[in-house]
A = this chain, B = another copy of it.
Amino acid sequence: MELHPYCRKAQFYETDAMGVVHHANYVYWMEEARTDFMDQIGYPYQKCATEHGIDMALTGIECQYKGMVRFGETVRIVMSITKLTPARLVIHYDMYDSATGDLRFEGESSHFFYLRAKNRPVALKRVLPDLYQLLSSLCTGADRE
């Protein structure tokens, strides 16, 4: 499966009085990249949530700011699954200036799979083995189980 990076143009309303994109917006961009990734692999969030009642609940976020992004610049977000267990998932994000290729941001989000109907964590491997298999095949880390 050939996945393409997610590209996102920085908007004016995302800047702050320092003249650059405010740091909280990268958290939104990580979410956008996740959404786009799930669309690309054929398991849109809405489908997971509505049809299967499964959410990727968030437990943590890490952000490292490497450089500023300005209004009008486009970031290219390369997302990779660095850890997958039957019940958990860790995703890494590299954001580059699309014009220069310079790294602007590195981030990570940690998730567990959550079954709405029973209101508790669930092993994705058991309830959605196809999706688990797919994520596993895309996992670049050594931490695949």
Contacts and interface: CB of A to CB of B under 8 A. Distances in A.
Contacts of A64: 59-60
Contacts of A58: 23, 65
A62 B65 contact: no
Interface residues of A, number: 31
A61 B22 CA distance: 13
B65 A17 contact: no
- Counting every copy of the chain, the complex holds 4
Contacts of A60: 62-65
Contact of A24 (B13, B16, B17, B35): B13
A71 B45 contact: yes
A52 to B, nearest CB: 15
